[in-house]
Structure 1
Amino acid sequence: MKVASDKPQAASKNADSLQLAACGFELPPLALYIHIPWCVRKCPYCDFNSHAAGPTLPEEEYVDALLADLDSDLQHAHDRPLTSIFFGGGTPSLFSDRALGRLLEGVERRIAFADDIEITLEANPGTFEQAKFKGYRSLGINRLSIGVQSFQEAKLKALGRIHNGDEAIRAADMARAAGFDNFNLDLMHGLPEQSIEDALFDLRTAIAQAPTHLSWYQLTMEPNTVFWSQPPQLPEDDLLWDIQEAGQALLAAEGYAQYEVSAYARPGRQARHNLNYWTFGDFLGIGAGAHAKRSTPDGRILRTWKTRLPKDYLDPSKAYQAGERVLDAEELPFEFLMNVLRLTEGAPVELFSQRTGLPLAQLDGARREGERLGLLQTDDRRLVATARGQLFLNDLLQLFLA
């Protein structure tokens, strides 16, 4: 039988607990990430933990493993309900509604769901079937994230996608017909040989599908991908900047407010699961290669990760958890701000102490320097990057490194 590799938690000291309480430390909201690692085909730009699926998927065995993995993590829930669940991948929509239904029932038996829980499923247009998606909706899955990337045949071919533009449009139609009134479309820009007109065509086509949310982000070359070793010809920096400006203006004019570096939403339709990440909330992670961030009542903050290869994850002789790291107090300011400064409105200043247990005064020197450089807004109530700070976020974050 598999066992978790967590070490027993150290007993908290009274002095440490009093200091944390004085700083306002609180256990943050809790979310759950579920990783489904299989795809029809690995895309040449993808650095996620995804693997080409065989003729059959081990659905039953994998659901069993996911629930056993969750059992090993239950001690870290600390009686908090789940505010959101996100099925990521890979391509989670390769799994049947029956398998996902058994999984969700098992999760809810173990951890309570918040009344307004958001449950998101990533899906690719090439895997859409109307009956299957009606089944997903009946399970309580109430949000889809559809990986379109482009609506143009040449661009999709260059990206190694398995769908075409018409299938992407039909996927949005089928999502609505299945009862999903909340869905995201994923789009890339800065694609091989892309012009401003190409990028705006993709955005206009996406907007015409009336998604509640758009993720619009630049293609980057990541290590351990085909594109890293065989890079395509990408637009020059000046053209990339022009595409970014033109696209942001179009999205704003169409009522999609930018609330994060690459996320745009209709009013009230921000991705709550991702907002939890960006506000340094906690999340459990189950599935091959899943990562997690969790806090303990005594104020420790940990990053953990699971066994990466599906065959190892399904091997009962191997532990689900592959490793963990306790974050040092010196690195917490950077870890916290790396997330919240991605948000266009940042975060209230009191959130820093609530999430880290550290006094706000610890940021004083770096805050003043960020303000002097025009990277951080001068605001006593919020931690917010300026427009320039958003563009040079890495430079801003370097100020908060210990």
Structure 2
Amino acid sequence: MTHDSSASPLIFGGAAQSPRAALPTLPPLALYIHIPWCVRKCPYCDFNSHTASPVLPEEEYVDALLADLDQDLHAVYGRELSSIFFGGGTPSLFSAAALGRLLKGVEQRIPFASDIEITLEANPGTFEQEKFVAYRALGINRLSIGIQSFQEEKLKALGRIHNGDEAVRAAGMARQAGFDNFNLDLMHGLPDQSLDDALSDLRQAIALKPTHLSWYQLTLEPNTVFWNQPPTLPEDDTLWDIQEAGQALLAENGYAQYEVSAYALPGRPARHNLNYWSFGDFIGIGAGAHGKLSHPDGRIVRTWKTRLPKDYLNPAKSFKAGEKALTNDELPFDFLMNALRLTEGVESRLYPERTGLPLESLAEGRREAEQSGLLQVEPSRLAATERGQLFLNDLLQTFLS
């Protein structure tokens, strides 16, 4: 998209607007690296993950990731990385040697902030735990461990390949390896799960003293085994009881909710995710990775990469599958869809800083959302009320009218 220099005002959200301004400062920059392989695809998973062959193409994939990054460098020259996140798939299937070569290559291309947060998603299986010390030595300083449940029958129902004992040991191994900052991923609303089952899982997770907990409800997503063969899930009343009791238990133990499904001890929210939700910038490299980059002239561009690993590794094919410059009509919703997930919302000033649009462009939708009790009446912040957090889609719809 070129800078809009038309003389007539733009209309969106019910208000007349001037053309979008150039951005005075660029937001923090992060890097997302997608490793698409898993030992086995879980029946609930709709992420871009693929069953791994006995020997992974580590060297070829690292080469491709660095070549992919090279093609994005022109858009981030002079900036530094505030965070890196290895997602998947199961990134901990890769050796420390491969990840070390990758991190070294990234740092040669983009400077790291002195306090950079580098997160690696890991499975709790014994094979992955053995690598934790080596990962920490590379400078990876945060783990996100995919537990989902500690109960054998629930793990089997979810198609997980670890057991409850391995899940417990993984947290201890992370701490012994020097990770003083780690997340546990835990689901609720599992097949045939009772309130007691869900709280038992949550108590076990809290007992392991992670700095961060991602605690979220299982949902049935299209293009998954569970979508085509739905399991028996708890009734809505049970799901509501689990949500209320679980949030109270987390709060009692010092875990503050700062996003729809994210809870952290004081000072320990995930910086990478906070940047994402506050409309920061991120490069996305790897099969199926998404990115979002702001440009000084006001353009904000979302990109997505080739999805299938075999195509991503094919030199005859492009890494980039597509890109889209966000229009002035799209920006308010795109910004708020992220920012309003945060329980505290964001400072109002962030909207013009990150979008180049005046705050007045939200005025009509804001009034409607406040009158509906979905948005807090607080001029200096954009934040959902408790009711707005429960009905986030309804809240966002007010900014589409």
Please tell me the TM-score bracket, short chain as reference.
Answer: over 0.9
Counterpart in 2 of 1:296?
295
Q: How far apart, in 2, do the equivalents of 1:212 and 1:355 lie? A: 29
Q: How far apart, in 2, do the equivalents of 1:299 and 1:93 lie? A: 38
1:48-63 correspondence runs (5 A): 48-63=47-62
Q: What do the CA deviations read for 1:114-134 (whole angstroms, capped 9, x no partner)?
A: 000000000001254454211
**Displacement after TM superposition at 1:304 (Å):** 0.7
What SS does the corresponding residue of 2:272 show, helix, strand or coil? helix
**Displacement after TM superposition at 1:71 (Å):** 0.2
Contact 1:93–1:127 (CA under 8 A) maintained in structure 2 = no
Contact 2:46–2:224 (CA under 8 A) maintained in structure 1 = yes
Counterpart in 1 of 2:15?
none
5+ residue gaps in structure 2?
Answer: 10-17
Number of positions where the alignment pairs a residue of Structure 1 with one of Structure 2: 392
**Displacement after TM superposition at 1:326 (Å):** 1.1
What is the TM-score normalised by the length of structure 2? 0.95
Question: What amino acid is aligned across from residue 329 of structure 2 in structure 1?
Answer: E
What SS does the corresponding residue of 1:168 show, helix, strand or coil? helix
Counterpart in 2 of 1:270?
269
What SS does the corresponding residue of 1:255 show, helix, strand or coil? coil
Question: What amino acid is aligned across from residue 379 of structure 2 in structure 1?
Answer: D
**Displacement after TM superposition at 1:136 (Å):** 0.4
Counterpart in 1 of 2:70?
71
Counterpart in 1 of 2:196?
197
1:41 and 2:47 are equivalent in the alignment: no
Counterpart in 2 of 1:5?
none
Taking every aligned residue pair, what percent have the same amino acid on both sides? 76
Contact 2:2–2:299 (CA under 8 A) maintained in structure 1 = no
Question: What amino acid is aligned across from residue 88 of structure 2 in structure 1?
Answer: G
Counterpart in 1 of 2:145?
146
Counterpart in 1 of 2:214?
215
What SS does the corresponding residue of 1:299 show, helix, strand or coil? coil
Counterpart in 1 of 2:168?
169
Distance 1:227 1:130, change over 3 A: closer
Counterpart in 1 of 2:13?
none
Contact 1:94–1:127 (CA under 8 A) maintained in structure 2 = no
Contact 2:86–2:121 (CA under 8 A) maintained in structure 1 = yes
Contact 2:20–2:328 (CA under 8 A) maintained in structure 1 = no
Distance 1:129 1:364, change over 3 A: closer
Counterpart in 1 of 2:12?
none
Question: What amino acid is aligned across from residue 396 of structure 1 in structure 2?
Answer: L
Q: What do the CA deviations read for 1:91-124 (whole angstroms, capped 9, x no partner)?
A: 0000000000000000000000000000000000
Q: How far apart, in 2, do the equivalents of 1:19 and 1:223 lie? A: 39
Counterpart in 1 of 2:116?
117
What SS does the corresponding residue of 1:220 show, helix, strand or coil? coil
Contact 2:23–2:298 (CA under 8 A) maintained in structure 1 = no
**Displacement after TM superposition at 1:378 (Å):** 0.3
**Displacement after TM superposition at 1:78 (Å):** 3.3
**Displacement after TM superposition at 1:303 (Å):** 1.1
Looking at secondary structure, tell me which structure has more helix per residue: 1
Q: How far apart, in 2, do the equivalents of 1:332 and 1:77 lie? A: 21
Contact 1:25–1:355 (CA under 8 A) maintained in structure 2 = no
Counterpart in 2 of 1:3?
none
**Displacement after TM superposition at 1:277 (Å):** 0.5
5+ residue gaps in structure 1?
Answer: 1-8
1:96 and 2:102 are equivalent in the alignment: no
Question: What amino acid is aligned across from residue 272 of structure 1 in structure 2?
Answer: R
Contact 1:143–1:182 (CA under 8 A) maintained in structure 2 = yes
Question: What amino acid is aligned across from residue 189 of structure 2 in structure 1?
Answer: G
Q: How far apart, in 2, do the equivalents of 1:341 and 1:12 lie? A: 27
Q: How far apart, in 1, do the equivalents of 2:372 and 2:4 lie? A: 40
Distance 1:256 1:281, change over 3 A: same
What SS does the corresponding residue of 2:131 show, helix, strand or coil? helix
Q: How far apart, in 1, do the equivalents of 2:173 and 2:281 lie? A: 33
Question: What amino acid is aligned across from residue 320 of structure 2 in structure 1?
Answer: Q
1:1-400 correspondence runs (5 A): 10=2, 25-126=24-125, 128-400=127-399
Could you say what the CA RMSD is over the residues aligned between the two structures, in angstroms? 1.7
Contact 1:257–1:264 (CA under 8 A) maintained in structure 2 = yes
**Displacement after TM superposition at 1:77 (Å):** 1.0
**Displacement after TM superposition at 1:26 (Å):** 2.7
